[in-house]
Amino acid sequence: MAERVRILGVENNFSPLIPQAIGYLPQLHTLLVRTDLRSEDEEVQDQLSGRVEESALRPQKPVKLKRLYIRQVRRWPRGTFNFVARCLQLQDWNLEVDDIDHPRPEGVGDTSSVKLRRLELHNASDVLGLLLHMPHTRPVFANLRHFTVTPFPDDTFEHPLSLLTSVRHSLEGFELNLGHIDKSALYQKIPEILDLSTFTSLTHLVLINYPRSADQPPFALPQGITSLLSSYQHATASSLQTLTLTISWNVWNLEADWDEDGSWERTKQLVVDQDGKKLPAFCNLLSFRSEVALRRAKELFDLGREIEGGVAFNMFKM
């Protein structure tokens, strides 16, 4: 059975024996970690501080993880980091829970055999900060191709930006989900610090629940999205092939004027010229989709057919 396991989900369990089990799963390529724990829980403290024989913890075969998913319900980055580091074949370094600068013991290497291709973080940007901070875990991102992040409301975007900057020439897919919480302070900073035109290999971009500016009308296209796309304005060409937006509306009005502030038209002008021909920066774009529900989409985007209910449709003819 162990030979067939490809995905392992771990929920609220930081047992040091789990990394040992991972060593017996040669086909494992995805590790899902979900934590809803409090740092003061005695049982959890025992799990993290308990040491076992290094020979018992060391996997029998190299770990070949390609995808790492971390979801924190409660913030406790050090405990989550300690567990994940062990699972990445660095478990013989027992990082102290209360001391993130604990010196690395002699003989512990700077690299891991794990080279992640996909990283998904939900409320775990602080865990990412530790993974980037520690020299023995940082190299696991060298081959990263897809990055999904859902930040905490008070996150500064510092750690995701640091990772994005380091992989900007190799990253192929990026998904940013701002959830359903007002993150006005966060989203206002993102267009200023994230220049998409520097991501030379980016082919897929997904923006979910990007909030509008306070002065925008209810059905406007969020100004932050327009600002992000404007970074492509002076690029000779980009690799971007698909762009997907999920924009939420709290009030539905099928007769509303979507483009009251001209935000949709301004965004359209960033992508296509007056004749509907794609501009050079978006010459490789195959799909620009938005998940919305409004009949007037037919008129606004020349779809040629009625839209009933919530659907995803191409914003422009490609």
- Give the long-range contacts of residues 221-226, CB within 8 A, separation 24 or more: 221/247, 221/263, 221/264, 221/266, 221/267, 222/187, 222/247, 222/263, 223/263, 224/187, 224/188, 224/190, 224/191, 225/267, 226/263, 226/266, 226/267, 226/270
Q: What is the dihedral of CA 94, 58, 24, 121, to 10 degrees?
A: 30
Instruction: Give CA–CA dist 67/315, Å, rounded.
Output: 31
Q: Residue 6 phi/psi, 5° resolution? A: -115, -25
N-to-C CA span, the chain:
47
Residue 304 token pair: 């040629």
Q: Residue 305's pLDDT is what?
A: 42
Q: 3-state class of 246 per DSSP?
A: strand
Query: Other C-beta atoms within 10 Å of 43: how many?
Result: 10
The pLDDT assigned to 93 comes to 46
At residue 55, the pLDDT reads 46
Radius of gyration of the CA atoms of the chain, in A? 22
| 251/70 Cα distance (integer angstroms) | 33
pLDDT in tens, the chain (318 residues): 667 777 888 877 777 677 777 777 777 778 888 877 655 555 555 555 544 444 444 544 556 778 888 888 777 777 788 778 777 765 444 444 444 444 444 444 445 567 889 999 998 888 899 888 877 778 889 899 999 998 877 777 889 999 999 999 999 999 998 876 566 667 777 887 888 888 989 999 998 888 888 888 877 888 888 899 998 887 777 889 988 887 766 555 656 677 788 888 888 888 888 887 888 888 888 877 776 544 444 455 544 444 344 444 445 444
